[in-house]
Structure 1
Amino acid sequence: MDADRLYHDPALADFYDLENGWERSPDFAFCRALVEGAASMLDLGCGTGELAIAVSGGRTVVAVDPAPAMLGIARAKAGAGGVEFVEGDARTLRLGRRFDLVVLTGHAFQVFLTQEDRRAALATIAAHLAPGGRFVFDSRNPACREWEEWGPDDSMRLLDHPRFGAVAAWNDVALDAGTGIVTYGTHYEIRATGERLSAASRIAFPEKAELEALIAEAGLRVERWLGDWEGHAWQEGAKEIIPLGTLA
């Protein structure tokens, strides 16, 4: 899995929090509520650390990401001292520790492009989950074909970046019908200078049936399948596939 410039290039990573609006994000709110009562949490694919820092008061929080640029932003934030940030790959990570809650949100699970990658990531979750602990992750439902809404016309937006000023942003997208892998480009054009920053990202859209089989194989058990981060049960046509579960 090649390093994605969107997260590994410091200039591009600098747009991450601006684009995501964490306090308005339903997965952010869901995980903040889920961690209540838990003494420890492992955040796989923590990005810029917003969730990890927000829940770190009074509990052990370890946050892992493969991108040094994202971790650099995370470590510079207020409250970051309450989190142990680790550079690592969720497919191979072995900390030798177990946690009450393991989360992998922000559709980070979709960066695992092959079934073997997904199997390895789920084994990592199982290896770090304490008895009675819970895990949660999200993946977009391929049946909804959400990538069809990611073209330049639908995605064009104007950002007010604190350092660059006005920035035009847009995406483009291509589906590999043979593999089901979607490649989407992210483009930022700084209005003051005309400089353009771009990255191409690849993500997979595994079917729910595959996830069911791989989760069971990893020694995990799903308590509830959710169709969104508001907590509604999964059903055909739901935009999200969100397993919430524990060790089998």
Structure 2
Amino acid sequence: MPSDKLYNDPSLVEFYDIENGWTADSAYLKTMAEGRTSILDLGCGTGMLTAALAESGKRVVGVDPAAAMLDVARSRPGGNRVRWVEGDGRTIRLDETFDMVLLSGHAFQVFLTKDDQLAALKTIAAHLSPEGHFIFDSRNPVVEEWKEWTPDESERDTEHPVFGKVLAWNDVRHDPATGVVEYDTFYRIAADERTYAAQSKIAFPSHEDLTAMMDESGLVVEQWLGGWDGRPFETSASEIIPIGRLR
């Protein structure tokens, strides 16, 4: 899995929280974490959610492969309550288990092949306590959301605390043979027209693909959601969100 500048270049990482921030998935997961005593955030990014989950004295570990993201996570308020680990979600083994294992922000989609995806699911299984639950999200390929990631449709204005006004946009290419989507992210600083750019790749496994991989990875899904508002999964849902446990 090649290094992605969007997550590894500190100048681009500065835009991550501006673009993503605290969203519906964060709120849902914080509620789900109530009553849990130990949580593994497998793909924690800049740690906004992870640090919030550690507020109540829980044992919380945040794992991410990008050192630049973890630098932000460690320095944020509450970051000292989390153990931050640089590691690959396909291979990391912490030799401990958790009441809750999560991957949010569509982090599961960075695993581009079925082998990668199965390896990530086995990592989840390896870190679940007998009564623990896992949850993650992946965009439903049926919806073809990537078609909205063109320059015209994705152009947006945002505000950077140092640079001021920033124009952001994406561009996209979809490979029908593999289902992998390659997209570009651009940030242009209004004051001096400097432009930062990154190229990323993500996969869109289907509901059927994910279902088939669960048993092999030692997991069972108890509930499939179709959105972070708690709606049940259906074919036309924008999200595929499994919630489950060890088989």
Please, what TM-score do these two structures have when normalized by structure 1?
0.98
In the TM superposition, what is the alpha-carbon distance from 1:154 to its structure 2 partner? 1.0
In the TM superposition, what is the alpha-carbon distance from 1:194 to its structure 2 partner? 1.4
Partner amino acid, structure 1, of 2:28 = F
In the TM superposition, what is the alpha-carbon distance from 1:165 to its structure 2 partner? 1.2
1:56 match: secondary structure:
helix
Query: 1:207, 1:157 → 2: CA distance?
Result: 29
Does residue 1:173 correspond to 2:143, yes or no?
no
Does residue 1:186 correspond to 2:169, yes or no?
no
In the TM superposition, what is the alpha-carbon distance from 1:127 to its structure 2 partner? 0.2
RMSD: 0.6
Query: 2:33, 2:157 → 1: CA distance?
Result: 35
1:55 match: secondary structure:
helix
In the TM superposition, what is the alpha-carbon distance from 1:26 to its structure 2 partner? 1.0
Match in the other structure for 1:3: 3
In the TM superposition, what is the alpha-carbon distance from 1:21 to its structure 2 partner? 2.5
Deviations 1:169-211 (A, max 9, x none): 1001110121111011000011112111000110000111110
Partner amino acid, structure 1, of 2:11 = A
1:174 match: secondary structure:
strand
2:209 match: secondary structure:
helix
Partner amino acid, structure 2, of 1:12 = L
Match in the other structure for 1:64: 63
Query: 1:177, 1:218 → 2: CA distance?
Result: 26
Contact 2:21-2:48 at 8 Å conserved across structures: no
Query: 1:76, 1:174 → 2: CA distance?
Result: 35
Residues 16-95 of structure 1: pairs in structure 2 closer than 5 A:
16-22=16-22, 25-57=23-55, 58-95=57-94
Residues 1-248 of structure 1: pairs in structure 2 closer than 5 A:
1-22=1-22, 25-57=23-55, 58-248=57-247
In the TM superposition, what is the alpha-carbon distance from 1:35 to its structure 2 partner? 0.5
Partner amino acid, structure 2, of 1:33 = T
Query: 1:190, 1:235 → 2: CA distance?
Result: 41
Partner amino acid, structure 2, of 1:11 = S
Query: 1:86, 1:21 → 2: CA distance?
Result: 21
Deviations 1:61-117 (A, max 9, x none): 000000011000111111111000000000000000000000011000000000000
Gaps of 5+ in 2: none
Query: 2:190, 2:230 → 1: CA distance?
Result: 40
Q: Share of identical aligned residues, percent?
A: 55
1:231 match: secondary structure:
coil
Query: 1:101, 1:10 → 2: CA distance?
Result: 29
Q: Which runs of 4+ in 1 moved over 6 A?
A: none
Query: 2:36, 2:152 → 1: CA distance?
Result: 43
In the TM superposition, what is the alpha-carbon distance from 1:141 to its structure 2 partner? 0.5
Query: 1:197, 1:29 → 2: CA distance?
Result: 30
